[in-house]
Amino acid sequence: MSRYWPASDCDDILPGAIPQKLGTFSSQWYQAQQAQADKHKWMIYQYQWQGETSELSNHGKQYLTQLASSMTQHTPLYVESSGNPVLDTSRKEYISTYLQETLNVSNVKEIQIQIDSTIQEGLHGSEVSRLQRGWGSAQSRGNTRGL
């Protein structure tokens, strides 16, 4: 038996040690990714505002209306940080007012609106120039109907 399992390979394993269950570490990684993805479902991004103002664009208003219809009492909303604390505070107030006055959300004071930054990585390398040239658009696939 010793020729198949040399004693030196097992010196650091304590007698009776039980290995971790399968998936112990990959499950933690998956749960962290899922939590971050869930947070991004409730994020209002920079491109949904009208430039460097505290006014939502039409797309941003539609998005916030959609979020409001599926929010529960304990659902936090996140606003992507602009890097300007005054603008971020103004945007939080705008969302609170918009939810209360325009969408008639009654429990606005209970909804947490938080300023947060995204951890999404920007585009790097060859995909940037391809996207700038229109790669992935309808025209680049040979569709000339203007879709």
Taking only the tens place, the pLDDT of each residue in 37-82 is 888 888 898 888 988 999 999 989 999 999 888 877 677 899 999 8
Centroid of chain to Cα 58: 21
Q: Is residue 105 part of a domain?
A: yes
Tell me the mean pLDDT in the region 3-27: 71
The answer to whether residue 3 scores a pLDDT higher than 60 is no
Distance CA 141, CA 77 (A): 37
Q: Is residue 127 part of a domain?
A: no
Q: Is residue 26 part of a domain?
A: no
Distance CA 99, CA 111 (A): 10
What pLDDT is attached to residue 19?
78
Taking only the tens place, the pLDDT of each residue in 99-147 is 888 888 777 777 888 898 876 655 566 766 665 566 554 444 554 444 3
Taking only the tens place, the pLDDT of each residue in 76-85 is 899 999 889 9
For residue 109, the enclosing domain spans: 41-118
Mean pLDDT of the chain: 77
Q: Is residue 112 part of a domain?
A: yes
* Closest alpha carbon to 97 in 88, 108, 87, 86: 108
Distance CA 27, CA 32 (A): 9
- Number of structural domains, the chain? 1
pTM of the complete model beyond 0.85: no
Q: Is residue 106 part of a domain?
A: yes
Q: Is residue 3 part of a domain?
A: no
What pLDDT is attached to residue 95?
92
Tell me what percent of the chain is helix, strand and coil, each rounded to the nearest 5.
Answer: 45, 10, 45
**Helical spans, DSSP H, in the chain:** 24-41, 58-70, 85-97, 126-132
Q: Is residue 66 part of a domain?
A: yes
What pLDDT is attached to residue 102?
84
Q: Is residue 145 part of a domain?
A: no
What pLDDT is attached to residue 140?
46
Distance CA 18, CA 14 (A): 9
